A = this chain, B = another copy of it.
């Protein structure tokens, strides 16, 4: 934490420790942590850049939430229990109200999932936020992208596309203070940690949808060396989305929209028969297709393969 400006960390981010596995938190050169015996450490990091991953003028509370949520979503996709976070914040200036809001958004989500901020760095620069989250999972139960097999059944959680619809509303001039459910879904999307835990040792493959279902599914298929066949009629299109955009545009939002932090996962046919009902009782999940031998992702409508224009979000495309 050599570059840290300690007053900022102290003032906005240092709080009494709540986890007994934090031996030394914010304030030294590094944090000292006590991982549990026998579990693998899970580590993820994601960076958000103003104007690219969040809008110029986005509320601090939302940015603080998103910066942690995008990382927690990665841990959910591994079936992991999150524990600790590190925060690197590059700020053009010290705006106390914005920082207080940011810290609130970060801490509310952290508290919800028992995560403690144990270190960080604040520097002057363009508004860029990087968070690293650490957690645990039994190595044999960890969810990976690479385990999908022909014959597996493909599921997605929740209502992907809603966050993209909310973002669209904001881009068209909607208020950041709006309490429209789609706007709130974009500003404060919730990572699916409970579902990730429930899938441990059960799903053959999993990943989170953050860059768009179609593009992310393509990555899962590439990692597993398989092909996915999606039935567009099975896509979960929420009533809200349908009311706002109609069927066709909604489908595109579901397939291509990002920032929902939903989980995409596969179950073996046997596991789907056995566990699907139980999972459905606790989580909003939808069967959207199957895995087969081959490469890539096929979208079907009425039994015919159709082309979906666009694809995943590529930062350097």
CB < 8 Å: which of B24, B27, B126, B261 contacts A142? B24
CA distance A1 to B219 in the complex (A): 12
Q: Mark A10-24, 1 if CB is under 8 A from B, else 0.
A: 000000000000011
Q: Within the oligomer, what is the number of copies of this chain?
A: 2
- Residue in chain B with minimal CB distance to A222: B6
**A28 within 8 A of partner (CB):** yes
At the interface, yes or no: A32 with Cβ under 8 Å from chain B? yes
**Which has the most chain B C-beta neighbours within 10 Å: A31, A137, A207?**
A31
- The verdict on A167 contacting chain B, using a C-beta distance below 8 Å, is no
Task: State which size class the interface on A falls in.
Answer: 35 or more
| Contacting residues, chain B, for A53 (C-beta < 8 A) | 3, 123
B126 close to A2 (CB less than 8 A): no
Q: Is A56 an interface residue (CB 8 A)?
A: no
A47 an interface residue at 8 Å Cβ cutoff? yes
Q: How far is the CB of A290 from chain B (nearest CB, A)?
A: 22
The stretch among A83-91, A179-187, A244-252 that forms the contact with chain B is: A83-91
Q: How far is the CA of A39 from the CA of B207 in the complex (A)?
A: 31
Picked from B29, B34, B40, the residue with its CB within 8 Å of the CB of A41 is B34
Instruction: State how many angstroms separate the Cβ of A230 from the closest Cβ of chain B.
Output: 20
Complex interface bits, A114-157 against B, C-beta within 8 A gives 1, otherwise 0:
00001111111110101010100101001011100000000000
Bound Cα distance A87, B45 (Å): 8
Interface check A163, CB cutoff 8 A: no
Instruction: Tell me if A46 is interfacial: C-beta within 8 Å of chain B.
Output: yes
Given known A-B contacts A27-B223, A53-B123, A123-B52, A46 and B130 have beta carbons under 8 A apart: no
Q: Which residues of B have CB within 8 Å of A226?
A: none
7 closest A-B pairs (Cβ-Cβ)? A49-B125, A2-B210, A30-B44, A29-B77, A126-B126, A130-B130, A47-B88
